[in-house]
Structure 1
Amino acid sequence: MIAIDLYFFMNAAYDLTLLCVVGIVARKRLYFGRVLAAALLGAAWSVTALIAALYFMLPSCALWIVKMITYLLCPYLMCLIAYRRNINVMQKIFMREFLLKNIELLLYFYVAGALISGLMLLLKWSGIHIPSWILMPVCSILAVFLWRYITKKEAQEKQIYEVTLIYQDKTFNVKALYDSGNTLMIRKSEPVHVLAPSIWKELIGEDPWKEDGFAVPYQTVSETSVMPGIYLDEIHLKEKAITEKKQQLVKENSKEKVLVLRHVPTGLGSMEFDKAGECQMLLHRDTFD
C-alpha cells in the first residue's frame, strides 16, 4: 500500500526543486507563492494519476491522455503559474504564440529533472544511500536559498542609489547606478567609480587633470586608453536595507542607513550616462563587497 500523503509530499518537493532550478537557469524572477502553487499542482496531478492507474482499469486511449497530461500539459501549466504574472492562464493556454514562448521553459524543466534524477542514480551507484524523502526536501531548501540569493543580487544590480559626493569644500547629491560591468581598478587594486562629465566639471573645473590626480587605464572593444582620476574625500551611499559591510555604517533613522566610503578613487567618464539626468555616476561592481 502506497502512502498517498508521503507520495504527494515527495512529488511537491521534487517539483519545487525543479521549478526553482529552472527559474534560476532561465533568469526568471521567482515568487515563492507562485512556485509553491505550481509544485502543489504537479503533486496533486501525480497523486491523481497514481490512483487512476492503481484502482481503475483504464482503456489504452485514456492511458494515452493521462500520459499527455502528465508529460506535457501539467508541466506547461506549472511553468505558466510559476513564472508568469498578471496573466489569465485559461485565455492564453491555447494560443500558439504563447505556447511557443514557453517551450524553452518546458525544455529547461525536463533537462533539470533529468539531471536531478541522474544525480540520485549516481549516488545510488556510488553506494551512498540517501532516502528520497530526505534528499528531495534538502534539494528544495537549497534551491530556494539559491533563488533568494540570486534574486536579491539581481535586484541590487538594477537599483539606483542616492549618493552624496564630498570633495574638498564641495558637496553634490547625485544618482548612481550599480554597474556590474564596471571592473576598473588602479594599481593599488582599489575599485574605481566613474562620474559623468557634467558632475566632474562642477567638482574639478574645466581642466579634467589634477596635479594630485592619477590615470585610470581602461579598454573597450575599439581602443585602449586612460581616463583622469581623483580621490574623493567621501561618498555617502543611501539605501533602505543595506547589508553589514566592512566599511563604516552610519544609521540615520530606523528605515535608512548610509554606507560611508572614504578616500574613494573616481574616474571621468567619456560621456553622459543618461540624458534625462537619472544617472550621473556608475558604481564599481565591488562596492558592496
Structure 2
Amino acid sequence: MNTHGTEVRQKVLTLLRDGAKNTDVARRFGVPPGTVSYWKHVDRVKRGEPVTVRPSLLCPRCDDRDLDQASYSYLLGLYLGDGHISHYAKHKVPSLMITLDDTWPGIQDSAEHALRTVFPHNNTCRVRSKGAHNIKVYFKHLTCLFPQHGPGKKHERLIALESWQQEIVDAHPWDFVRGLIHSDGCRITNWTTRVVGGERKRYEYPRYFFTNVSDDIRQLFTDTLDGLGIGWTHCTRHGNPYNISVAKKASVALMDAHVGPKY
C-alpha cells in the first residue's frame, strides 16, 4: 500500500496554494486525485478560507438543508416496513435500501421518486434480486434522518419517532400511512353470504390489512389512523396477532381516496 509522508504532502499543498491543478499535482507525485482533493480541503479549512461543500454532503438535520416533508413521511413508512441501512466496508458511506416486490412496479417507481426528492443531490439506483428490486441511495447522514436504525431486527428493539419526525408525520399523515401500506399492507376484497328472502346471496366488500411483527410499528400505524378518524381493529389470523384491519365502509372510502390498491 502506498503511503505519503509529511514531506510529500507539504510539497503538494505548496503547489496547490500557488494555483496548480489537482490532477497535475496528483500525476506529478503519484498521489490519488481524491487524496489531493482531501488534503486541499483540510488545508483551506485550517487557514480559514471559504470552503464550498457539495450539496450531496449536506444533511437536513446537521446542515439545515431543505427537506421535502411529504416525500420524507412516505419514505419513512417504506423504511419502517421494507427498508434497512447498511454500511459495508467496501463502501465509503452507508446506503438506504428499500426492498420491493416486482409484482408492484408502480410502488418501486414511487419509492425511487421519494428517494430522489428527499436526496436530490445523491445518486439512486435499482439492484435486482429474486422477484424484487432494491431501491437504494448512498448518503453519509442516513442515520440522522432515520434514527430508528440499529443492530438486530426492528421488532426486537424499540422503534419510536423523534419529535421532529412526529411533527412531519402529523403534517403529512396520509403519506406516512401510504408508505406503510405500500410496504407491509394490502387492499383485498372479502366476501360473505347472507340469506335474503330465503335465498343465500354472496356479498363482497373491500378491506385493508397492515401486517407487521413490531408492536411499536403497528402502534405508529394505528395512532396515525386514529388521528385521521379511520376505524380499525386487531385481526388475528392463523394465530398471528400482527394484523390491523380497516373494514368499515367510510374508513375504506377514505383509504381508497388517499392510498388505494397496490399498483
Q: Pick the TM interval, shorter chain.
A: under 0.3
Give TM-score, length-normalised by structure 2: 0.25
Higher relative contact order at CA 8 Å, sep ≥6: structure 1 or structure 2?
Answer: 1
Structure number with bigger Rg: 1
Give TM-score, length-normalised by structure 1: 0.23
